[in-house]
A and B are shown apart, each in its own frame.
Chain A
Amino acid sequence: MRLSYLLIAIIVLTGFSACFGGTPARGRGWSAPAATEQQVYVNTPEGKLAALNLSARSRGLIFPGEGEWSFPPGQKAKLGSLFATPSVSNGVVYIASLEGRVYALDAAMGTEKWKEPHKVVGDIQASPLVAKGKVFVAANNKVFAIEALDGRTGWTQPFVASGRIWAKPAADEVETTLFFGTLDKDFYALDTATGSLKWTFKAGGAILTTPVLHKGKIYFGAFDGNLYALDPASRQSGLAFPAQGEWVFNATDWIWSGPVREKDTLYFATMRGKVFAVDAGSGRPVWPGPFEVSSKFRSKPVVYKDNLIIASEEGRIYSLNLADGQMKWASPSSLGAAILADLAISADTVYIYTQGHTLYALDADTGMQRWGYSVSTK
């Protein structure tokens, strides 16, 4: 009988090691490209930041071509996992590694602007925001402010939120208030100068979208399927939601794509494959009905001229008329890998970074592929 226990012990050990494989993997995520007129910055699968020159990529040159670099330099050096999309501001690229290191690099040369990277405790998933001379970074449930100029600590202490922060924060026009949401359904407004709390709002679902600010109101989507429109003055006064000018639009499924704004309309998509256009003032739908596909939308769309360009998880790209949601063009087939990272646009080119680590450049007018580059710095 005791031998049978030994047998169970062996089965349990084998079963556990086979099925569990130790601690959970941390190396899975996505980050979007950051595009300027001359370059596109992307995180590589090897854990580096690559600056790609558009001319070199369109000619299919071997990396690094003219005007291209990777950081950190050297074959073996790497930053670890990079889930946060790089932010470009005033000729500086700000990147944050999952392990909590923030770097400021010269956008043209790839050299470090700070003496050393700024270290914070926690996992960084969200893209850094540059506003009011500071870089705002979220690690786990904390928000840190770093002086953009030299990498010194910007606040006396980080702000501690209720839950993890996975979406890039946003600032108002005068850059005095910082807005962000958490996985614990809380939405925060902080003073950018001190990090002190101005007000909070409880949504009905996890918040994984970057807020959009327009005409003094704040818009964000949540996992309860709602697009929220908040009035900061009403929230500051503690009025019951929805106060005058505030509204909720229900899209019935997780909102993880958008919103983006063009004129007075907000565009966003759901994980059930629907794209909506909602009037920012009234919260009423603008299109006769949502645009629908059989896939999911995670990737944030971009606006080009009078088109909304959006990518589905299955790897197809769609261009929709902003006015009525009618499809103008769609990529004839999938790009061959899932698209989860936000899209980027510069001039008339849309950049798409697939989960297969290929960066595609598409003609925003026609959807024709200009070039594709398998991102690697090896």
Chain B
Amino acid sequence: MTELWELIILRPMLNGLIVLYNFSFQDFGIAIIVFTILTRVLILPLTIKQLKATKAMSSLQPKLQEIQKKYAKDKAKLSQETMALYKEAGISPMGCLVPTLVQMPIWIALYQAILKVNPGTPQDLFDLSRLLYPGEWLHNLVPLKEHFLWLNLGQPDTLMILPVLVGGSMWVQQKMVTTGTGDPKQESMNRMMLWMWPMMFFLFSLQFASGLALYWIVSNFIGIIIQYFVTGWGGLKRQPGAVVVIPPEAPKALKGAGTKK
């Protein structure tokens, strides 16, 4: 399994990064930024699909709530009707997950590649020699210069600037995708997710190589730009208190207020 991982994912990524390094003024930080842009461009169709699916899911919330209320006691029917609604709207709940799942092996391989091309010990450097593709010019580039701005890309950012930027950019992205539903339970979950993701990646960035944090920041900023063009500012634009929970007995005219159009 390890050999397969190395053969299919790690070695191509590691050698690709070294090639990019060569064409990025032999600056590993720039190589990571270029790599991130290329990766995001590659999965752009999936990202757009995800954002559209998320938007469509939000617009379905009133109908979903109706179904949930109607079939509260019949779980099988509830599931059947929910799926029928998704099918009718032409969206797949999995469409929201795919881009994230696709990026996971990239994160893991990138983390490993960043550490491996910046060996901390002679043994690590020796191990790296096993992963390099043949080619004199490729071998000559190793070990790469691990410094970019104030960072040692193989080590965590001790100034904590990158972890804050990772958390901040992730919060903005999460906020953009968070829309009002009118359902208190859903709103509570949204609030939790709004903070959980940024906090989680903030903590990751504190511990892991700053090269990976750099990838996350660039990836988040690209994500924000794409999201802006596909769905607009989303939750960022909403005013506090715009989401209101409308009791069932409220006049029909008030229903729908606070939900995103």
Contacts and interface: CB of A to CB of B under 8 A. Distances in A.
A206 B142 CA distance: 7
A225 B104 contact: no
B189 A22 contact: no
B108 A19 contact: yes
Contacts of B57: 1
Looking at chain B's contact residues, is the secondary structure mostly helix, strand, loop, or mixed? helix
A225 B136 contact: yes
A4 B177 CA distance: 14
B122 A26 contact: no
Given A28-B121, A205-B140, A20 B111 contact: yes
A184 B111 contact: no
Interface string A174-211: 00000000011000000000000000000011101000
Contacts of A166: 122
Interface in A83-101: 83
Nearest to A16: B204
Contacts of B112: 19-20
Contacts of B189: 2-3
Contacts of A28: 121, 123-124
Given A2-B189, A9-B197, A206-B142, A20 B108 contact: yes
B232 interface: no
A24 B115 contact: yes
Contact of A204 (B140, B142, B197): B140
Contacts of B107: 16
Contact of A26 (B121, B145, B204): B121
A107 interface: no
A360 to B, nearest CB: 20
Interface stretch (B27-35, B95-103, B246-254): B95-103
A140 to B, nearest CB: 10
A253 interface: yes
Nearest to A225: B136
A340 B124 CA distance: 12
Given A12-B200, A223-B139, A298-B126, A1 B93 contact: yes
Interface string A314-329: 0000000000000000
B184 interface: no
A80 to B, nearest CB: 13
A252 interface: yes
Contacts of A65: none
B65 interface: no
B208 A20 contact: yes
A69 interface: no
A311 to B, nearest CB: 14
A15 B197 CA distance: 15
Contact of B108 (A5, A15, A296): A15
Q: Which 7 A-B pairs have the closest CB atoms?
A: A28-B123, A2-B189, A19-B108, A224-B140, A29-B121, A29-B123, A205-B140
Interface of A: 1-9, 11-13, 15-16, 19-20, 22-24, 26, 28-30, 83, 123, 125, 163, 166, 183-184, 204-206, 208, 223-225, 252-254, 271, 296, 298, 340
17 contacts: A1-B93, A2-B186, A2-B190, A5-B197, A9-B196, A15-B108, A16-B204, A23-B208, A24-B154, A26-B121, A28-B121, A29-B121, A29-B122, A125-B121, A223-B140, A225-B136, A340-B123
